[in-house]
A and B are shown apart, each in its own frame.
Chain A
Amino acid sequence: MGLMDSFDNFWSIYSNLVLSLGTASLLALSIYLTLSCGMLAMANAAFMGIGAYASALLTMNAGAPFPVAIAGGMAAPAVVALLIGLPTLRLSGVYLAMATLAFGEVVRIVILNTEDLTGGALGLNGIPQSTQWWHVLLALLVTLGVLARLRRSKIGRAFEAIKEDETAAGLMGIDVTAHKMLAFVLGGAIAGLAGTLNAHLTFFIGPNEYGFDRGVEILTMTILGGINSLFGPVVGAVIITLLPELLRGLKDYRAVFNGLILVVIVLFLPKGLWDPAAVRRRLGLGAKEAAR
């Protein structure tokens, strides 16, 4: 009984934090998809926002049941991704990063200026708290399952070929544009799912939650974890989400550490924290030594 009580106690304090580990992991996986296809697209925070607003408007204004809101929260950013993907995915490297960044700003400004619908700078208040812990867990498991399946499929191999060398992949007969579009749209839908779950968890959403800083945070999680496996982004998301709690004593200087950690990882851990090849190498080496 005592154990149950202390668990209840823990859960009442930390349930939001635990659940935000799940939504952060979804976000990290959403940008992992485009990165694994060799694209640095920085629109995921905007897709998250579009999903959050679309689903919150569905539940608040149309009284839609939660599954419908989730579907809407995933479909809206996917459709937007499809529309802006047509022109932007032709761009390469930094041009793509900058164009998607610009798109994110446009989304934020549009939300700010459509007060009748979105509440403008005041945001949307009083979103029903429909997100249960098992919704988040299920969403994460299904996403991991789909992505794991994708990785081992022909599509996953095509992503890898495009990442290594786009021109060569095209010459091998891979439809580069279609594969990039798939990664972009699917990434948008996953980010929208995270936005939907998050909006129905936190009661309130505002336009500035989905700006440049959030986009950078999502990227940081994935780069920190590493993109050579599906666990990398999840590991990164967990660390970046827990870090502010652990660094609480530093108060105003917390973000200094977030920034410096990003720099240190880029400098000293180019493959991220979770690099399956390195782990295997270490284990393999250990086995050989044991045999001797």
Chain B
Amino acid sequence: MNFTGKKTGKFPFNPNKEVDFLGDYIVVNEAGTTKLFSAHCTHLGCAIATFREGKFICPCHGSEFTKDGKVLKGPAYKSLERVAFTFDKEKKFIIVK
């Protein structure tokens, strides 16, 4: 069983938000491109909901990740999981299948 974010669904998309927390996912908008990451820490799956000083911080053990999902500080050693997604026609929603 993988708890690093496998939920499907349709989530509201805000292109203006540099970082948007959508429960199990994190949306990162940068330089015109959108990336979707699992919000669950790769160490033990705690949900990340803090972005401070350009870093995502896990509340359980303090692992830190860059905006690209790369590990800055352990205990996690794997990057945040990138999640494939599509937009709806009007680009108002993110769809995860």
Does B associate with A?
Answer: no
**Contact surface of B with A, Cβ cutoff 8 Å:** none
